[in-house]
Chain A
Amino acid sequence: MFKHHRHHHRKIEHPVSNNGEFPLSQLPAGIAARVARVRGGHWLVNRIACLGFTPGAEVRLLQNYGNGPLIAIVRGSRLALGRGESEHILVKVIEA
């Protein structure tokens, strides 16, 4: 399903989930996806949403080494986010 975009990135498990949604933490770098849902407490959802992760927003990872924090591009700006936070953002791959 996914091509591994950059050879030096650690291999990431193919996500298995209902209707194609899976956590952002499992999105390989370089693949364009769309935010489907954001889950979690008020504080975290608010923080994530105001920075641009709202349903429908396009997101692409610049860095995802399979552990540690990752770097995403969303709404034209680069955001670094912890792996824990990225579990709260569910995305769906944009089919070309």
Chain B
Amino acid sequence: MTQPALAIPSLAEQPEPALVIALVGQPNVGKSSVFNDLTGQAQYVSNWPGKTSEPKCGDCDTDGMRIQMVDLPGTYSLSANSTEERIVRDFLIHQQPDVVALIVNATALERNLYLLAELLALPVKIVLGLNMLDTAAQQGIIIEPHVLEAALGLPVIPLNAARSQGVEELLQTAACLATQPLVDTPNRPEIRADHRDVLQALQELIAPYVPEPYPADWTALKLLEGDWQVTEMMQAHLGEQWQPVHAILMQHEDAILAIAGGRYEWIGRMMRAAVTQPRSGQLTLTDRIDRVATHPLWGMLILLGILGFLFWLTYALGTPLQTWLDVNLVQAGSLWAQAQMQAAPPWLTGLVVNGMIAGVGTVLTLLPILLIFFSVLGILEDLGYMARAAYVMDRFMHLMGLHGKSFLPLFLGFGCNVPAVMGARSIESPKARLITILVTPLVPCTARLAVLATLAPIFFGVHALWATWGLVALNLVVLTGVGIVLHEGLLGGEHKAFIMELPLYQLPNLRSIGASLWQRLVDFIKMAGSIILVVSVLLWALSTFPGGTIHTSILGLVGQKLAPLGRIMGLDWQMLVALLTSFVRKENTIPTLAVLYGVGTQGAGLADVLGSRLTQPAALAFLAVQMLFIPCMATLATIHQETRSWRWTVLSVVLLLAVSLAMGIAIYQGAALVGWM
């Protein structure tokens, strides 16, 4: 199997790796620490054929051998319960990695070994990384790795991933294991005795029909478990022969419990040999913290306190830094470019200054806020608090058809939609993540709130506060409605079960948090330098040509063509163009209006014009559309980056365009109906 290592490995060429090692584990086992340790910054997303979701990959070397590590999603089992579970088992069965490195958490060894019990039914070579032994010892759980190794019949490596201890040994053991032939582990979990004959009969029935590369015994087991994917597959391959198989399965609908029970019996035998458990009923530190942190009232107050702190940090530190970057990067850059380009034609100066620097620069000024949000989120996640926040918020999020874990990303949206979309990564279920991403732009960000705060007093005078609160509430109502519709449409009742692990609290691993923070910032800067750059230049051109001003530009003309649509909402074409330019950045609405009406943004100019041009219902309709309108360029680019799909990105635009315009029309026409003019 082993090939000689290449003399000069070059990342650009990405030579065929000598070995492929898959990292597998349940959630909260420190798997990403191990992955970051082994691969450093050399991570990339790889496209495996036929996969919609790409596992993260990274390269490393041991003994001169080039190894590709594949970080598979964290899963509790290998059923078809969730998309992640399907990704993991499809990868193991179809891509057949040389070795599977299973990382387990010593503090929850019993449940963690369930995944091992499942893996043993597949023809894979396994090395077990036993992480968090020290934390387990603090809990009074004493594990003897050598005894466990002897009981399981496969290599067990003690790890302290947070301190990089044992990681290299894990890699070497895996590389060594890859060179040896696959041997059957003598000690494998078995189905509970009362179902042994059924499994045997089933396996004999289906064996000739099981397609490559699926193992027949594994397939029989999954059929008995009621796994829908394997059931569909075998139904297709068995054809006429499905009937007797189906009859057996119908008689043994309870077999899942016999299989899972059998696995836990096997785990119990392994545990008895190698693990000393503490006396039960002792109150741990985690229990003490949880008495407060998961309390219906105190837990909520703690969560609000943390969020309050996060936003205080954003305003106290993030906003000044953002302003500083705006002055010293965007504005200074613009002036410098203008000075350098005095000899250049005006259109070229416009392209560089108003197109490239204004667009990309503005997006880059979001960096300090992203940095703050993701540092705090990373620490909370590593600490184990995120699961508690999800638990506390779950009953409220369920009303919106969302999971408790959607709460934090959505809440971040009030600051900025970009980190909110990125923050949805912490939601494991891909469909729930997608729904969260799609509804995120309905959370009013600071930029939109600033526009609202500027315009509401102009239109509504003393009633401005009521209008403002009403419009923010409208956004949240629409968010709930869209959330429920998407949930029914996309999930169709699946994933409604709420079962979530609450990991032990532990000190955060700053190195690992730093690594993923760095990855996010690099992704974001790459995005600003590519897609944002192109879109900025394109929008600048649309608002400049022909004629050199926005009045005569294509954007202006589009606005004028759309005038009939505007009239249904009581708006003139200038308002529509202002909405369109808010795509670059939401604050653009006000300067665009000022330019189009030929007045200054400061003082009474704009206020007079707007106040005289719009009736109150039309003004309300305009503000509602502005609050619900399509996401800004940076958010949209992030949606594309996170979903990796143009389809969902376009759908997000269409959805919000439809919702916002429908709301604008409903408000204006509704007001006309009830005679409010």
Identify which of B225, B261, B394 contacts A56 (C-beta below 8 A): B261
- Provide the bound-state CA to CA distance between A68 and B594, in Å: 52
Measured between alpha carbons, how far is A77 from B28 in the docked complex, in Å? 11
CB of B264 within 8 A of CB of A75, answer: yes
Q: Mark B246-290, 1 if CB is under 8 A from A, else 0.
A: 000000010011001100100000000000010010000011001
Of A50, A60, A84, the contact of B260 (CB 8 Å cutoff): A50
With A43-B81, A47-B81 as contacts: A77 and B111 at CB distance below 8 Å: yes
Contact present for B500 and A79 (CB under 8 Å)? yes
User: Does the CB pair B294–A71 fall under 8 Å?
Assistant: yes
Within 8 A of A (CB), among B472-515: 494, 497-504
Tell whether B147 is near chain A: CB-to-CB under 8 Å: no
Q: Cα distance A54–B395 when bound, in Å? A: 26
A79 & B256 in contact (Cβ 8 Å cutoff): no
CB-based contact A82/B108 at 8 Å: no
What is the bound-complex CA distance between A48 and B247, given in angstroms?
25
Q: Which residues 6-58 of A sit at the B interface, judged by CB distance below 8 A?
A: 32, 38, 42-52, 54-57
B226 within 8 A of A: yes
**Cα(A85)–Cα(B111), bound, Å:** 19
* B109 contacts the other chain (CB 8 A): yes
The answer to whether B110 touches A63, judged by C-beta atoms less than 8 angstroms apart, is no
Least CB distance, A26 to chain B, in whole angstroms: 18
Interfacial residues of chain B within 312-346, with CB under 8 A of chain A in the complex: none
Interface SS of chain A = mixed
Chain B residues near A4 (CB-CB < 8 A): none
B15: Cβ under 8 A from any A Cβ: no
What's the tally of chain A residues with a CB closer than 8 Å to chain B? 34
Chain A: CB-nearest residue to B112: A77
State which residues 56-71 of A face B: CB under 8 Å: 56-57, 60, 62-63, 65, 68-69, 71
Q: Is the CB of B264 within 8 A of A52?
A: yes
CB neighbors of A among B432-472 (8 A): none
Q: How far is the CA of A81 from the CA of B257 in the complex (A)?
A: 19
| Nearest-Cβ distance from residue A51 to partner chain B, whole angstroms | 6
User: In the complex, are the beta carbons of B109 and A76 less than 8 A apart?
Assistant: yes
B502 touches A80 (CB 8 A): yes
Chain B neighbourhood of A32, CB < 8 A: 280
- Distance in Å: Cβ of A29 to nearest Cβ of chain B: 11
Evaluate contact between B81 and A46: CB separation under 8 angstroms.
yes
Query: Contact: A81 with B256, CB < 8 Å?
Result: no
Say yes or no: is B524 at the interface (Cβ < 8 Å to chain A): no
Beta-carbon contact of B256 and A46 below 8 Å: yes
Chain B residues with CB under 8 Å of A69's CB are 391, 394-395, 498
A55 to B258, CA, bound (A): 9
| Cα–Cα distance between A37 and B438 once the two chains are bound (Å) | 39
**Contact flags B103-114 to A (C-beta < 8 A → 1, else 0):** 000011111001
Tell me whether A76 and B110 are in contact (CB under 8 A). Answer: yes
CA distance A52 to B499 in the complex (A): 12
A81 to chain B, nearest CB (A): 5
CA distance A85 to B497 in the complex (A): 6
What is the bound-complex CA distance between A27 and B237, given in angstroms? Answer: 46
A49-B257, A60-B280 known, 18 other contacts, Cβ within 8 Å: A42-B228, A44-B497, A48-B499, A49-B256, A50-B81, A51-B76, A52-B111, A52-B114, A54-B257, A65-B296, A69-B394, A76-B110, A77-B108, A78-B290, A79-B499, A79-B500, A79-B501, A80-B500
User: Which residues does B use to contact A, with CB under 8 Å?
Assistant: 76-77, 79, 81, 107-111, 114, 141, 225-228, 253, 256-257, 260-261, 264, 277, 280, 286-287, 290, 294, 296, 387, 391, 394-395, 494, 497-504
